[in-house]
Amino acid sequence: MGVMTQNQSAQAAAVSATGLRKSFGDTVVLDGLDLTVPAGTVFSLLGPNGAGKTTTIKILSTLINADGGAAEVAGHDVAAEPDQVRAAIGVTGQFSAVDNLLTGQENLLLMADLLHLDRSEGRQRAAELLGRFDLAAAAGKMAATYSGGMRRKLDLAMTLVGRPPIIFLDEPTTGLDPRSRRGMWEIILDLVAGGVTIFLTTQYLEEADELADRIAVLDHGRLVAEGTPDELKRLVPGGRIRLQFTDAGQLDRAARVIEEGTRDDEALALQVPSDGSVAFLRGVLSRLEAGSVGVAALSVDTPGLDDVFLTLTGHPDTEDDPR
Amino acid sequence: MSTLSYAARDSATMLRRNLVHLMRYPAMAVSVLGLPVIMLLLFVYVFGGTLGAGLGAARGLSYIDYLAPGIIVLAVCSGAVSTAVSVNVDMTEGIINRFRTMAIARTSVLTGHVAGSVIQTVLSAVLVTGVALAAGFRPTAGPAGWAAAFALIAALAFATTWLSVALGLVAKSPASASNLPMPLFLLPFLGSAFVPPASMSAGVRWFAEYQPFTPVIDTLRGLLTGTPIGHNGLIAVAWCGGTALVSYLWARAVYSRGGR
C-alpha cells in the first residue's frame, strides 16, 4: 500500500533534503543543497568555515527555516512537523549547550524532566551517562568549572538522555585537544554500533575519514563532491613529497631535474605533487640520484582538506579559516 | 488536555531551573533589593525632612507614609533589570538552542522565567515593605487592604516581568539588556512616588498624571494608608493587564522568530 511504501522509504532515509536554500541578507549560505542519509549510517558534511555546515544543521534540527527546498528528518517535514522531528533528534552544537550554573548531574536531570521521564528513570539514566562519559567524579560540580573536553562530553550526554535515533553533531571536536578528540571519536563510534544515525559536520578530513560512511563536501552552499571516504580520496591526489636540501645549489639542481616541483627558497625545500604510489616515489628518487642531487630529508604528506578543496573547487580552503 | 499539562510541567521544570540559578548566583537578587532600600533610607533620612515639611502639613501624613508605597513599586521595577539580563544571558548561551530543538512546550522557557522573576520580585517587595515598617511606615490597612495591596503588587510584577522578558529577548547583549528597562525604574520618579504631581511644573505634571505608575502608586497608597483611590484602582489594573498582554504577545513573537 501507499502508506507502507512511504513508511519504508522514511525508514531507509533518516535525513533527506532537496534543493535547500538559505540566505542571510545578501549572503547566499545554502544554494540548492541535496542530500540523503540512510538510517543507521554516519554522514559527514565536510567544509571550511562559512561553507554552510552549521546553517544546514540548524535547518535540519528545526532551529531556523529554509528559504526554499524541503527537508525530512525521521520521515517528518522539518517545516511542517517540527515537534515530531524534535522528538526524534538530539543536537550537540558547536557552542556548548550546558547550563553553567547547574551541576553535571542537574544538567542531565533537567533533560530527563523536559523529556518527561519519571524521577527514578531520570536518575538512573543520568547516573548511567555520567559513568559512561567518565563524569561521575565531577557530577556534583557546577558545569562552569568543567574543562573544555568535559563540557563537550556533558553536552553530548545531555543529548543522549532521550536516546534519540538521529543525532546531529556540529563540529564535535573543534577546539578539543588530541586526546579528548580521540575520546569523542570512540564515543561516536559506540553510538553508531548501537544503531544510531549520525549527521556530523567537521573541518577535518581525518575526522570524516575516521567516522563517516559517506562524506559530502560543502563549498559556498553547494555540494561539490559526495561519496565514501575511499571514493573521495581517490578523487584527490596522493598528497605531496617534500624534499629538504642543505644549500641553494642542491635545490637548484633538484628543481632542474624535477620540473613539476614547487620550490620554497627560504626553507630550501621542494614540494612535489604525487599520486601517493610507491612507484611515483621511487621515480622521484631515481631522478634525483641520476642528477646526483643530495637530499637532506624527505617526507610524504598525505592529502588534507586543503588538497580536497584545491582539487574539487579549484581554490584553496582560505575563506576565513585561520590556517 | 495533555498538551496543557505538559506545558505546565515544562514550565515548572524551567521555574525550578531559574530558582536554582537565583540561589547559585545571588548577587543579582541582592542588587535588585539593595537599590529600593537605599532609595528608601535616602529619602527618609536625608531628603525626608524637607520634602515632608513641604507636604506633610497639607496632607496630615508623615513623609514615610507618603513615600513607602512608591518605594515598594520601585522595588518591583528594580526586579525588571535582573529579569531582562537573565533572559538575555539565556538567549545568548548555547543552551537555548538545545531547548529549541527539544519537543518541549514552546514558551515554557519564557513562562519559567516569568514565574521565577515574579516570585523573586514579590519577595523583594515584601522585604522592602519590612524595611519601610522598621523605618517608621505606619499603614492603616486591614487584612482586606493588605490582601488587595499584595494582589496589586503581584499584578504589577507580572506586567513588568513580561515587559522585561520581551526587552531581554530583543536586547543584543546582556549589557544592553540591563539598560533597556531603565525607563521603568525612572517612571516612578516622574510620577507620584516621591512628591505629588500637583506640585510639579505644568508639562511634567501632565506627564506624571497620565503615566501608568501614578495610578498604581496612588492605588497602593490608598489601600495601605487610606488616602482616596477613586478611579485609580481600575486604571491601575487596566495598565497592568494591558502591559502584560502586549508584552506577552511581543515576547512570544520575538521568541518564536528564533535565531537572531
Tell me the pLDDT of chain B averaged across its residues.
87
pLDDT at B46 over 70: yes
- Whether the CB-CB separation of B187 and B136 falls below 8 Å is answered with no
User: Which tens digit of pLDDT belongs to each residue from B80-131?
Assistant: 888 898 899 888 888 888 998 898 888 898 999 999 999 999 999 999 999 9
pLDDT at A60 over 90: yes
- Whether the CB-CB separation of B182 and B74 falls below 8 Å is answered with no
Tell me the pLDDT of chain A averaged across its residues.
85
User: Which tens digit of pLDDT belongs to each residue from B236-249?
Assistant: 999 999 999 999 99
Q: Classify domain A240-302 by CATH number.
A: 3.30.70
Of B255, B236, B245, B254, nearest to B76 (Cα)?
A: B236
B8 to chain A: nearest residue by CA?
Answer: A114
> Is domain A2-98+146-235 given the CATH code 3.40.50.300 in the classification?
yes
- pLDDT of A316 reads 57
Ranges A157-171, B18-32, B180-194, most confident: A157-171
Indicate the domain borders of chain B: 2-257
Overall pTM surpassing 0.80 (yes/no): no
Beta bridge partners of A215: A44, A227
pLDDT at B1 over 70: no
- pLDDT of A305 reads 60
Give me the residues of A, 130-169, that contact B with CB < 8 A.
Answer: 142, 158-159, 162
- Whether the CB-CB separation of A59 and A66 falls below 8 Å is answered with yes
CB contact under 8 Å between A101 and B258, yes or no, is: no
Of A85, A45, A93, A95, nearest to A62 (Cα)?
A: A85
Residue from the list B24, B98, B103 with its beta carbon closest to the beta carbon of A83: B103
Indicate the domain borders of chain A: 2-98+146-235, 240-302
Which strands sit side by side in the sheet containing A222-227, from one edge to the other? A89-92, A166-170, A197-202, A42-46, A214-219, A222-227
Question: Model confidence at A301, in pLDDT bands (50, 70, 90)?
Answer: confident
- pLDDT of A1 reads 36
CA gap A42, A303 in Å, rounded: 22
With b meaning 16 or more CB within 10 Å and e meaning fewer, what string describes B88-98?
bbbbebbbbbb
Q: Which residues of B touch A109 (CB under 8 A)?
A: none
Residue from the list A62, A106, A116 with its beta carbon closest to the beta carbon of B101: A62
- pLDDT of A291 reads 85
pLDDT at A4 over 70: no
User: Which tens digit of pLDDT belongs to each residue from B194-226?
Assistant: 888 888 888 888 888 889 999 999 999 989 888
CA gap A278, A285 in Å, rounded: 11
Question: Mean of the pLDDT values across residues A201-217?
Answer: 88
CB contact under 8 Å between B104 and A142, yes or no, is: no
- The long-range contacts involving B133-140, CB below 8 angstroms and separated by at least 24 positions, are B135/B40, B135/B41, B135/B44, B135/B64, B136/B44, B136/B62, B136/B64, B137/B64, B137/B65, B137/B68, B138/B62, B138/B65, B139/B65, B139/B68, B139/B224, B139/B225, B140/B224, B140/B225, B140/B226
List the single best residue of B18, B85, B101 to mutate versus A (max A Cβ within 10 A). B101
User: Which tens digit of pLDDT belongs to each residue from B152-175?
Assistant: 999 999 999 999 999 999 998 888
DSSP B158: H
- pLDDT of B260 reads 36
- pLDDT of B219 reads 92
Q: What is the ipTM of this complex?
A: 0.81
Residue type, A235: L
Residue from the list B13, B16, B94 with its beta carbon closest to the beta carbon of A97: B94
A114 to chain B: nearest residue by CA?
Answer: B10
Question: Mean of the pLDDT values across residues A80-87?
Answer: 91
Considering only residues A323 and A198, tell me which one the structure prediction assigns the higher pLDDT: A198
Rounded to the nearest 5°, which phi and psi values hold at A28?
-85, 120
Beta-carbon contacts of residue A191 (< 8 Å; ≥ 6 apart): A160, A167, A198
Give me the residues of B, 68-97, that contact A with CB < 8 A.
Answer: 93-95, 97
Question: Mean of the pLDDT values across residues A103-125?
Answer: 93
Beta bridge partners of A298: A243
